[in-house]
Amino acid sequence: MINIAIVDDDVQITGMLEKFLKRNENYRVHIYNNPITALSSIDKSVYVILLDIMMPQMNGLDFLPKIKEKHAHINVIMMTAYSTLDKVLDSHRYGAEHYLMKPFSSLDAVSKKIDEVTI
């Protein structure tokens, strides 16, 4: 069982992703709509985080180094609705494994990225 945390302020996106990922029995999904709560709640059992960049409470690029410092083993897949080259480069510099643009080309693409980091 792989623990996956979804950190995004948009409830509908987290709900849609939760529904999709729960179809896979190997995944256990944890939803966090507030990154500050997520930073204190996510423990070492979590293996993958789907992390939004633009959040009002805390930017995903600020969240990333802090969670990596706390739990270095966690794999982070960044998500954003407005992508720039700077954001991509910063994400990789801070330790993100993958980068997904919203809207996703397909939900399978999300599954594939998760599979890539969990294998």
Query: Interface residues with another protein (CB under 8 A)?
Result: 10, 12-13, 15-17, 19-20, 54, 81-84, 102-104, 106-107
Mapped to the 3 state alphabet, what secondary structure does 3-64 carry? EEEEECCCHHHHHHHHHHHCCCCCEEEEEECCHHHHHHHCCCCEEEEEEECCCCCCCHHHHH
Pick the closer one to another protein by CB: 22 or 70: 22
CB of 103 to another protein, least distance (A): 4
Pick the closer one to another protein by CB: 41 or 109: 109
CB of 106 to another protein, least distance (A): 6
**Residue 4 Cα to chain centre, angstroms:** 8
* Token pair in block for residue 109: 């693409």
Pick the closer one to another protein by CB: 5 or 17: 17
